[in-house]
Amino acid sequence: MSEAVTPERLLARAEAHLKESLVVKEAFLSGHMQSVVDLGLAIATAFQNGHKLLIAGNGGSAADAQHMAAELVVRLTSAFERQALPAIALTTDSSLVTACSNDYGYEFIFSRQIEAFGQEGDVFLGISTSGNSGNVIKALEVAKERGVVTAVLSGKTGGKLKGMADYSVLVPSGVTAHVQECHITAIHVLCDIIECCYCGKE
């Protein structure tokens, strides 16, 4: 380890990261929570009408997609038991993803699954910190063609996805780490809203 890297400097660096993250979350809280509530209500309505949620993203956003699906299929907290909810992460089938990438191209790994599983009234949630993920954009286009309700979790500008979806939740930051930190918080809030609206959670 470099002599310039002291415990004090590392502590200051860690504190600075957390403080920046808190600033972003405070800005998100003050100006963007209505978009989260609107999306949560849309997903709950889809469940009430017998439809499902399809979720996709790349890298850390793929992990967020899987995290959200797990919270809904299993449970958000042991303090509230309810039925499993129909949420599917389109990021998890390695055979499907690699076959599609090899045969058609990486751009189609989510849209191909929307063609297979997406039905009118379902919800597709695309997660992209930049808003420019080609495969999420393609999936959104196919979802709209099939009458699937579309939603986006993205960063400050929304990138190319801005304005494409029925519902957009944008985190007011251009720093990928802080956007992702807000996304996972938004996902937990969404799950709580869904449980309140659809499962009778108080």
All structural domains of the chain: 7-199 (3.40.50.10490)
Q: Which of 68, 20, 31, 59 is nearest to 178 (CA)?
A: 20
Residue 103 has pLDDT above 90, yes or no: yes
Average pLDDT over residues 66-72: 98
Confidence of residue 173 (pLDDT cuts 50, 70, 90): very high
| Amino acid letter for position 169 | V
Where does the pLDDT of residue 202 fall: very low under 50, low under 70, confident under 90, or very high at 90 and above? confident
pLDDT at 5: 87
pLDDT in tens, 19-64: 999 999 999 999 999 999 999 999 999 999 999 999 999 999 999 9
**Tell me: the pLDDT tens digits for 107-156?**
999 999 999 999 999 999 999 999 999 999 999 999 999 999 999 999 99
Q: With the C-alpha atoms ordered 125, 105, 120, 48, is the resulting torsion angle positive or negative?
A: negative
pLDDT at 4 exceeding the cut of 90:
no
Contact 183, 171 (CB under 8 A): yes
Q: Pairing mode, if any, of strands 167-170 and 149-154?
A: parallel
pLDDT exceeds 70 at position 91: yes
Burial of 171 (0-12, 13-18, 19+ CB in 10 A): buried
Average pLDDT across the chain, whole number = 96
